[in-house]
Amino acid sequence: MDRTSDRHHSRSRTLLLLDPYPRDNPYSMTASERRSIWFPKLSLPSIAAYTPPGWDVRLVDEAVQAIDFDQPCDLVGISVMTCYAPRAYELATEFRKRGKQVVLGGVHPTYCPDEALRYCDTVVCGEAEDLWPRVVEDFEAGAMKRIYRMEQFPPLENYRAPRVQLLSPDSYMTRHCTFTTRGCHFDCEFCSVSPFNGKTTRRRPVPEVIEEMQRVKEWIRSEVVERMARGSLTEAMKICAKIWVGLEEGSIVAFVDDLHNSHRAYCRDLWQAMKPLNVKWGCQSTLFLGDDREMVKLAADSGCVSVFVGMESVSEHSLDETNKGFNQVRKFEDQIKMFHDHGIMVNPGMVFGFDNDDESVFESTLNFLIRNRVELAYFNVLTPLPGTKLYERYAREDRIFDRDWAKYDGKHVVFHPKRMTADQLQEGFFWANHHFYSWGSIWERLRHTSQRLVPRLEMNREFRRHITRTCPRGTLSPLATVLKNLQAKLPTLDTGLLVPNALLTVTQAGSKAQESFLNIKGRRHDAFAALFIDLEGTLDHLNARELLERIKDAAQKAKMDIVVNFEHLRQATPGAMRTLLDQDLLKAVTPHAKLRYRKLKDAFHGALEGITLSDSDLFEELPQDA
């Protein structure tokens, strides 16, 4: 054997793994904020676990510590999310100037490999566990390729546990992070999970997960004991107090799966096996887990204290739009209550900016969340990330006006919304954050909490500090309240002599059971400088009168013309038609705005027989695309 070659391979090499974070990021967290509300990503600890022997691996999260560009290293690996791509490119450029070879991987390089290759030596596309050892071996042989593509999803059996010990101590809410599944069988339009991790769910064997959790728990416990032994008696007592109230790092295990509860039988086995561990844990879950009392109880009994749920919207239309119809708004309150009844904190992720959202979405969302006392909420602006169907659709429609990737963080508007302006969406996002984390809101949401009150209050306090420091206050236009007050789902009590909508086909008319409600949806119609009101369901004389009262109030406050669209209303009573044409009721509206009924005569000519239509302007027709 060549002795030079032998010495070359026996020499320990250094791999530097970087998680980029812009130093001037306006939303950067302080150390106390990170320790209360943030936990690390597992991508780089996983890559460290799959690095071949003989390498000294160092991991730097730039959100926690500065990067030393001159520190000795042989190879640099950078994990890249879209919003951190510009900073990742800066880091790659600096290290290459110093003669270091740089590998970029993660979601963004996977979908934008040609762009990424302008700044690095190699790109890894897709999940990297199977690819990374090959990348390192090729580097050692001096034959690293420009691009490596995942050929199949890595199996999760015998998965090497992420090396969370490499993460900076006392810098996060917890380093006790792990995962149980990858992939998602749902297909939400805005989400990159199923495109990147697959549309089927892969699961780690339960015994392997339990063994890893036990090992990390013992490691964190020994680290805490060592800190207490090293420090003063006062410091030891402080650590004991933080452990007791649930504020010490490692007090909670974070499952970072995107869909932890994807398989009922698997979760039942896992949660049952976790009971002897005596740990507190949180996860990302579907909200409809709250339909299953048995499973929620089992989760709580095994230590679950928190679930992040992708609620996204309190509008059925917005959920349908983004292919998330499995979230059912009518069940939200009962599902949240189910979690709360078992002492589990509910943290919904909410998204603003769907095509069905107008300025009313901000107040209606906050009213719902505060009324249902959700402990935390994460607000995001809808963002068309590369690799998603949303990005493809918005690109086709030429609606993306800003391709600065640094703004693709869920906090900046980069596209043209449909029912409000970009500025209104941005301001509403700011407004929602400040109002949800106001002291009044925090008190209303937490005053009934009986479990883990101290950590829940501390998390809200740190969120409030973060938002107050980094987020403009935001304002809503007066029209936002007008639109919110227009929205309603009114009961239909008088269902006799119903006249079907003549514009709907027989098939459509018979496809649903008789609907005993009237759904009112108002929006601003910029083309006609008017408020446009869509009606769905069943109209009787009682909800017709309530409709006119809401129209009158909107006319007085908005001083805008109002168009009521009957095209999609399924059925109505003759009494409802008479109410809509009541001259005394109409006179209350006309001093403030012009009122027009769209498609009323075409849709319900049968119900209008025998009724005098004296006001021809009321039926002034609008173009079809209105």
Strand 75-79 with 13-19, pairing: parallel
Contact 374, 437 (CB under 8 A): no
Q: Which pLDDT band holds residue 614 (cuts at 50, 70, 90)?
A: low
CATH 3.30.750.24 fits 479-619, yes or no: yes
pLDDT per residue as tens digits for the range 484-521? 888 888 888 877 778 888 887 544 444 444 568 898 88
* Residue 562 pLDDT: 87
Lowest mean pLDDT among 6-20, 41-55, 105-119, 164-178: 6-20
Give the span between the Cα atoms of 270 and 4, in whole angstroms. 51
pLDDT per residue as tens digits for the range 86-105? 999 999 999 999 999 999 99
Percent of the chain clearing pLDDT 90 (strictly above): 56
CATH no. for 173-476:
3.80.30.20
pLDDT per residue as tens digits for the range 210-253? 999 999 988 888 877 777 788 888 877 877 777 776 766 677 89
Backbone CA torsion sign across 405, 409, 412, 416: positive
> Per residue, what are the HEC states of 375-433?
CCCEEEECCCCCCCHHHHHHHHCCCECCCCHHHCCCCCCCECCCCCCHHHHHHHHHHHH
User: What are the boundaries of each domain within the chain?
Assistant: 3-149, 173-476, 479-619
* Residue 482 pLDDT: 85
Tell me the pTM.
0.86
SS3 506: helix
Q: Which CATH architecture has domain 3-149?
A: 3-Layer(aba) Sandwich (3.40)
Structure tokens belonging to residue 277: 């561990």
pLDDT per residue as tens digits for the range 9-35? 446 899 999 999 998 888 999 989 998
> Per residue, what are the HEC states of 145-176?
CCEEECCCCCCCCCCCCCCHHHCCCCCCCCCC
pLDDT per residue as tens digits for the range 254-269? 999 988 988 999 999 9
Kindly tell me if the per-residue pLDDT of 4 is higher than 70: no
* Residue 317 pLDDT: 85
536 beta partners: 519
Contact 503, 602 (CB under 8 A): yes
308 CB neighbour count, 10 Å cutoff: 22
